Amino acid sequence: MQIRLTVLGHDGAEDTDVQVAAPADTPLAAVLGSLASAAAPGSPAPGAVFCEETRLDPRLAVLGRPPLTDGAVLSFHRPAEGTGREPAGARLLVVAGPDAGGVHLLRGGPARLGRSARADVPLDDPDVSRLHCAIELTADGSVTVTDLGSTNGTLLDGAPVTGGPHPVRPGALLRLGESVLRVESEAAPAPPPPGDRDRSGRRGLAGWALGLRGASAPGAPAAPEAGPSGSREAASRWPDPAAVLLTALESGPRLWERDAGHPDAFALRLGTAQQAPELLPPVTLALPAAGSLGVAGPRGRAVGVARSLLAQLAALHPPAALEIVAVAPGRAEEWSWLGWLPHVRPSRGQDCGLLLAFDAAQAAARVGELQARVAAGPPGDGRRTVVLVDGDPGEAATRAALARLAAEGPAAGVHLLVPAETPPATAASPLEETLVSARAASPVFAGCATAAVLSGPVATALRLVGPGGAASPTAGADAVSAAWAGRFARALAPLGQDPAAGGAPAPGGGPLPESCRLLDALGLARVTPGALRERWSGQSGLPLVLGAGQDGPAALDLAAAPGPLAVDGGPRSGRTELLASLTASLAAAQGPRDLSLLLVEGAGEGLRPAAELPHVASYLPATDPVRMRAFAQALREELRRRAALLGEADGGAEPFGAARLRVARVVAPREPGDARPEAPPMRAQGSGPLPWLVVLVDDFEALLAPPLSAPGRQAAGSVVRALDAVAREGHPLGVRLITAGGAPAAAIRIALTGHPAGRAELRHATGRATHFQAGRVTARIPRTSTLRPTVARLDWSRAGDPPARRPVRELGNGPTDIALLASAATRAAETDRTATATFV
Ligand SMILES: Nc1ncnc2c1ncn2[C@@H]1O[C@H](COP(=O)(O)OP(=O)(O)OP(=O)(O)O)[C@@H](O)[C@H]1O
């Protein structure tokens, strides 16, 4: 298990990002000393640890479990600042402007807003006075605003605020300088749910871009929002930066709401129209129609706008619909916040830790990947890639390739977002001239079909120039700060995407590891009889953990599988190891009273270590024709008995998972102290529910076409026919078949690629594929290498490098994991009371 944490600097020291690798279930206490010395070398383990404002007990807080998930911020000695999630009487949201996105809690007493660092709510807006106005939550829960003698004045719903405190109704808009704030109190009306919105009209001043997809002609600005209800509708459809932050912090219903087919997929809000003081008509743009987007203006503001756009995209689109890449050599400090987003994890086989490029070599690698992607044409799944390009990419070839990508990428779903440094467009430097100078300065910017040009004396306004050259009216630009972006991205860090859950966020994530210990993937780092008994008692179905996937453990439910599972792969690709792991995974899921396993080997004896599991009712190497025939006969007999038992119980209509509880078992679990599972092939009848039966066959091809020298050659046919019968008839009888090598038909296939050993793809009957690294169970891995947690400082500038390839050390003299599991399972079975009280 790996998570990334941030330790806040103490006494003015810098914050430290670290990567922690530890076995599952490791308590924070085990790494506290290392965390402290990673943050400040030589410092001892702290006396108190806080995760945001909550004090943690390091013995009880477990790494990888909330709140200690990817992106968590720890502070030693004193609590960190709140997140805006805590309950408060009222909240002040900065919904538009050059320093948008802030969520401030009002807890009683006046809060002063202004440009000064001394302000309670500081706003980086040049048109805001140092101390501009004060907002107060009074004892009766109402909110008031008082102007503090500001230069440009304060507007409340369009009316100037003068004199003493003015009452502020929930939902009212306050305008100071270019910034717009909304007060939300408990009485505030909730924005309408997304489903209620009117999708018919594409509104917003930059409707020309959206109009390209159907509503109005390119270049024709659409009508601004009509009234307060229209404004709320727009707020819901085009979330402002504060709403974007809250969506991430609260994992709100809008999180990742837009898949590639959503009507508003890849649409962006850039700011709000300026001419309606009491409303906020959004200025929007549809990326598919706009192509690549350049943002020209003074650097700080242009980067703030780019941050806001990337955050919006990441909040509304799941990684399955959107990939984000950053090419910003030398600018790791500015853009490393993107590294927390699940969207920058390589998911198409890119050879890097994250899709970031902070030096020329990484930039060349990312651009090469993007070129290959564009050459392959638009992806069938509609997934798009947004590439931030900031600064000089280094080599001339990379620069030229990026300029081509800016122009040609959008047709293949690759859009560049390119901030370019220019003075703002003003009366002295009109829009056209500003554009010309930006294009001359950056060939990549010049390749962008659409440009957002920051304008006005302090560059807080914006005009969009579309593919046809038409410019939108002036709007107030939304920009967010670096601190805001970091907080936003960390909130998304623990989320991956679990394809099985239909796109719902799931914890974990990252590229596939080089190797995976199955017991870690199972969450059984310390396998004890007690832990096994607990699992066995809580389980239904046959969950099969395969190994490590991109977003946590890869798994499937064998009980629900529509037919046999086949494992394919070349020589030495790890087929035998995978079968042993599947055996172990099943044994960890259900106790021997509920699950019997039959192991068959077409050649060799690679599965012998797995035969030690108490679930294994029979282990059959293809060496003795007499035993093989007896096995085949017993297996057919078992199918007949099951058919008779289940048929008597309910006529065969009930699903096996329910029916099995009504009928007595046929294959009894192995008794403690019982002899090896070689003979007899099937065990005597016992009591308890009818167990699931899983037949696992390795080297199946050697049974199908046995070599002349094979000792079991004459009996191989009878075993194959019995296995055929299992494939045909076993499903409703609770019998499942897993084969490695040569099975002609199967409902689910696992293909081992062999690079590295154990690398595999799970292919469902539906065509869906999941990549994973198969779990290992038979290696003798030195205990310490899996049990000692490590803490390393994160170097974001190297995140775009190919991952270090360290050979898996198999020095071992320790026991194998399959032996540990078999021993714990045998002891757990001896004392297992969970299944003895069921029906007979
Ligand atoms: N999941 C895995 N992770 C890491 N290494 C593995 C994994 N599975 C197998 N290996 C390595 O690959 C080697 C071959 O594995 P295994 O014997 O399971 O492959 P196979 O496909 O059954 O080979 P054969 O061609 O002999 O049938 C093993 O010795 C092991 O070192």
Mean pLDDT of 383-391: 97
| Residue 752 alpha carbon, nearest atom of ligand 1 | 21
pLDDT tens across 392-444, in order? 998 999 999 999 999 999 999 999 999 999 988 887 778 888 999 899 989 99
Pair 551, 509: CB distance under 8 Å: yes
Question: Ligand 1 centroid to 757 CA: how many Å?
Answer: 6
User: Which amino acid residue places its CA nearest to atom 7 of ligand 1?
Assistant: 758
pLDDT tens across 298-338, in order? 999 999 999 999 999 999 999 999 999 999 999 999 999 99
Percent of the chain beyond pLDDT 70? 83
pLDDT of residue 786: 53
Pair 119, 112: CB distance under 8 Å: yes
Measured distance CA(447)–CA(599) in Å, rounded: 61
User: Which amino acid residue places its CA nearest to atom 2 of ligand 1?
Assistant: 758
Instruction: Find, among 491, 495, 474, the residue nearest to 247 by Cα.
Output: 491
Tokens 């039959």, located at residue: 598
Q: If pLDDT is split at 50, 70 and 90, which confidence band does 754 have?
A: confident
Say whether 572 counts as a known binding-site residue.
Answer: yes
Mean pLDDT of 821-834: 81
Going through 390-528 in order, the beta strands assigned E by DSSP cover: 414-421, 450-455, 461-465, 475-477, 495-497, 505-507, 516-517
Measured distance CA(484)–CA(310) in Å, rounded: 12
Question: Ligand 1 centroid to 754 CA: how many Å?
Answer: 8
Mean pLDDT of 773-802: 81
Say whether 571 counts as a known binding-site residue.
Answer: yes
pLDDT of residue 204: 24
Pair 624, 617: CB distance under 8 Å: no
Question: Ligand 1 centroid to 528 CA: how many Å?
Answer: 27
**Omega before residue 756 within 30° of 0, cis:** yes
Quote the mean pLDDT of the chain: 83
pLDDT tens across 222-231, in order? 333 333 334 5
User: Which amino acid residue places its CA nearest to atom 11 of ligand 1?
Assistant: 757
Ligand 1 binding site (Cβ under 6 Å of any ligand atom): 515, 569, 571-577, 606, 757-758, 774, 776, 808
Residue type, 548: A
Q: Is the pLDDT of residue 812 over 60?
A: no
How large is the ipTM?
0.96
Q: Structure tokens of 411?
A: 């047709």
Pair 313, 324: CB distance under 8 Å: yes
User: Which amino acid residue places its CA nearest to atom 14 of ligand 1?
Assistant: 572
Q: If pLDDT is split at 50, 70 and 90, which confidence band does 88 have?
A: low
Strand pairing partners for 603?
A: none
Pair 97, 460: CB distance under 8 Å: yes
Q: Structure tokens of 66?
A: 């909330």
User: Which amino acid residue places its CA nearest to atom 9 of ligand 1?
Assistant: 574
Question: Ligand 1 centroid to 779 CA: how many Å?
Answer: 10
Mean pLDDT of 490-504: 60
* Highest mean predicted confidence (pLDDT) among 47-61, 145-159, 513-527: 145-159
Measured distance CA(8)–CA(1) in Å, rounded: 22
Q: If pLDDT is split at 50, 70 and 90, which confidence band does 825 have?
A: very high
Instruction: Find, among 672, 664, 681, 660, the residue nearest to 614 by Cα.
Output: 672
Say whether 308 counts as a known binding-site residue.
Answer: no
Question: Ligand 1 centroid to 611 CA: how many Å?
Answer: 18
Q: Structure tokens of 461?
A: 């306004």
Angle at 786 between CA 780 and CA 791, to 5 degrees: 155
pLDDT tens across 129-144, in order? 999 999 998 888 889 9
Instruction: Find, among 597, 569, 573, the residue nearest to 584 by Cα.
Output: 597
Pair 95, 176: CB distance under 8 Å: no
Q: Which of 522, 577, 761 to mutate to test the pocket of ligand 1 (most atoms within 8 A of CB)?
A: 577
Dihedral in degrees, nearest 10, Cα atoms 264, 267, 271, 273: -60
* Highest mean predicted confidence (pLDDT) among 35-49, 99-113, 709-723: 709-723
| Residue 581 alpha carbon, nearest atom of ligand 1 | 1
Mean pLDDT of 357-378: 95
Pair 387, 414: CB distance under 8 Å: yes
Measured distance CA(506)–CA(352) in Å, rounded: 22
Measured distance CA(485)–CA(477) in Å, rounded: 16
Question: Ligand 1 centroid to 578 CA: how many Å?
Answer: 8
Question: Ligand 1 centroid to 233 CA: how many Å?
Answer: 58
Say whether 574 counts as a known binding-site residue.
Answer: yes
Question: Ligand 1 centroid to 576 CA: how many Å?
Answer: 6
Alpha-helical runs (H) found in 297-359: 299-316, 332-335
Q: If pLDDT is split at 50, 70 and 90, which confidence band does 508 have?
A: very low
3-state SS of 45-65?
CCCCEEECCEEECCCCCECCC
Residue 341, SS3?
A: coil
Mean pLDDT of 597-624: 94
Q: If pLDDT is split at 50, 70 and 90, which confidence band does 200 have?
A: very low
Q: If pLDDT is split at 50, 70 and 90, which confidence band does 538 have?
A: confident
Q: Is the pLDDT of residue 536 over 60?
A: yes
Higher pLDDT: 97 or 45? It is 97
pLDDT of residue 127: 94
Say whether 97 counts as a known binding-site residue.
Answer: no
Q: Is the pLDDT of residue 811 over 50?
A: no
| Element (DSSP H or E) covering residue 756 | none
**CA–CA distances in Å: residue 243 to residues 170, 286, 311:** 16, 19, 11
Q: Structure tokens of 397?
A: 């070839």
Instruction: Find, among 68, 532, 506, the residue nearest to 255 by Cα.
Output: 506
Say whether 258 counts as a known binding-site residue.
Answer: no
Residue type, 832: D
Establish how many alpha carbons lie within 13 A of residue 374's alpha carbon, considering only the half-sphere containing its beta carbon: 22
Q: DSSP string of 630-649?
A: HHHHHHHHHHHHHHHHHHHH
User: Which amino acid residue places its CA nearest to atom 26 of ligand 1?
Assistant: 572
User: Which amino acid residue places its CA nearest to atom 25 of ligand 1?
Assistant: 571
Q: If pLDDT is split at 50, 70 and 90, which confidence band does 784 have?
A: very low
Q: If pLDDT is split at 50, 70 and 90, which confidence band does 837 have?
A: very low
pLDDT of residue 295: 97
User: Which amino acid residue places its CA nearest to atom 3 of ligand 1?
Assistant: 758
Mean pLDDT of 344-354: 88
Say whether 575 counts as a known binding-site residue.
Answer: yes
| Residue 699 alpha carbon, nearest atom of ligand 1 | 27
Higher pLDDT: 780 or 479? It is 479
Residue 4, SS3?
A: strand
Q: If pLDDT is split at 50, 70 and 90, which confidence band does 652 have?
A: low
| Residue 569 alpha carbon, nearest atom of ligand 1 | 21
User: Which amino acid residue places its CA nearest to atom 5 of ligand 1?
Assistant: 757
pLDDT of residue 218: 29
User: Which amino acid residue places its CA nearest to atom 8 of ligand 1?
Assistant: 574
Q: Is the pLDDT of residue 743 over 90?
A: no
Question: Ligand 1 centroid to 752 CA: how many Å?
Answer: 10
Question: Ligand 1 centroid to 708 CA: how many Å?
Answer: 25
pLDDT of residue 570: 87
| Residue 570 alpha carbon, nearest atom of ligand 1 | 21
Q: What is the CA radius of gyration of the chain?
A: 31
Tokens 């607990």, located at residue: 534
pLDDT tens across 246-292, in order? 999 988 889 999 999 999 999 999 999 866 656 778 889 999 999 99
Q: Which of 545, 572, 608, 777 to mutate to test the pocket of ligand 1 (most atoms within 8 A of CB)?
A: 572
Pair 518, 585: CB distance under 8 Å: yes
Q: Structure tokens of 177?
A: 């300088």
Q: If pLDDT is split at 50, 70 and 90, which confidence band does 808 have?
A: very low
User: Which amino acid residue places its CA nearest to atom 6 of ligand 1?
Assistant: 757
pLDDT of residue 513: 78
Higher pLDDT: 812 or 31? It is 31
Pair 777, 817: CB distance under 8 Å: yes
pLDDT of residue 151: 96
Residue type, 588: A
Q: If pLDDT is split at 50, 70 and 90, which confidence band does 614 have?
A: very high
| Residue 577 alpha carbon, nearest atom of ligand 1 | 18
Mean pLDDT of 56-82: 87
Phi, psi of 787 (to 5 degrees): -100, -15
pLDDT of residue 187: 47
pLDDT of residue 779: 80
Measured distance CA(797)–CA(598) in Å, rounded: 51
User: Which amino acid residue places its CA nearest to atom 15 of ligand 1?
Assistant: 574
pLDDT tens across 13-52, in order? 889 999 998 877 889 999 999 999 988 888 888 889 999 8
Say whether 797 counts as a known binding-site residue.
Answer: no
Going through 197-265 in order, the beta strands assigned E by DSSP cover: none
